[in-house]
Amino acid sequence: MIAEPAFANGDKSRITRTTIEVNRDLREMSGKSAKEIQQDLGRRLANHHGVAAKLEMELDGRTFNGKPIQITAGLIRKARIAEDLGWTCPYTGKTYDAIDLVSRQVDKDHIIPRSLRPSDSLDSLVVTFAEVNKMKGQRTAWRFVSDEQGKVVEGSPQLSIVSLTRFKQWAESLESYKGHDDDKRRKKKRKELLLLPNYEEKGFVPRDLTVTSQLVRLGAQIIKKSFAGVEKPPGIVSLPGAVTGTVRKGWNLLGCLELPRHR
């Protein structure tokens, strides 16, 4: 589509950003009644609503830097990861709470360095202390613990890295069978990444065509090829299905599915 004259009058150098949307709902909702679709959407959102309610209860009336704490989408996203992990840092075994998320005493960390696996999906993330995140650097979670087990965290003498045995036991014990199928997939994938010593980029295999993250990667590769030779190729943003409608309306985006043209 981006090569068509309708986009930027055919001048690719004028395009500064592109988006990728995988409409998985077309497959998963096919054949379901309106009631079944509504019930499925309710189950999908149950985790999000439950975590948001928990944050509201724990942070009600509390302030940070003299201001009331706002329950933002970003905070809920972090809290969903924390909830999956039992509000426990995978590398030190220490627990934290909602106020630690607000103050950024703890924050998101990519299990596999983003430079190796460029994904910001929930299954690719854990929550850990800032000093631990800095210490981990460009290592997989497993490799980091294997290399640094038993060591005190620089800048935080109250924290130390757990043993590899303890890390493995903790990761394997993470719950991955409750909630919507999306919740189960997310938690199972995160466990797989936590227990992966080394990560190697692999080519696409047939089953990847049913995995949203893989489709996004494939789409990004195709878009990059379309801009070969352009001095400043555009940034590529992946739109999660759950926010697609809001984003389309707010950004006034063109739809990816067009109405049939009359001949």
For residue 127, report the phi and psi dihedrals to the nearest 5 degrees. -120, 130
- Paired strand residues for 125: 110
SS3 for 61?
coil
* Poorest-pLDDT segment among 125-139, 167-181, 243-257: 243-257
**Whole-angstrom distance, CA of residue 117 vs CA of residue 110:** 9
Confidence of residue 97 (pLDDT cuts 50, 70, 90): very high
Which of 102, 82, 95, 121 shows the shortest CA–CA distance to 212?
Answer: 121
Determine the distance from the C-alpha atom of residue 219 to the mean position of all C-alpha atoms in its chain, rounded to a whole number.
Answer: 18
Q: State the pLDDT at residue 15.
A: 84
Q: State the pLDDT at residue 126.
A: 98
**Whole-angstrom distance, CA of residue 104 vs CA of residue 55:** 15
Confidence of residue 40 (pLDDT cuts 50, 70, 90): confident
Q: State the pLDDT at residue 239.
A: 62
Token pair recorded at residue 93: 């075994």
Return all residues near 253 (Cβ < 8 A) that are at least 6 apart: 19, 247
For residue 155, is it left (φ>0), alpha (ψ between -120 and 50) or beta? left
Q: State the pLDDT at residue 150.
A: 97
Token pair recorded at residue 127: 């929550």
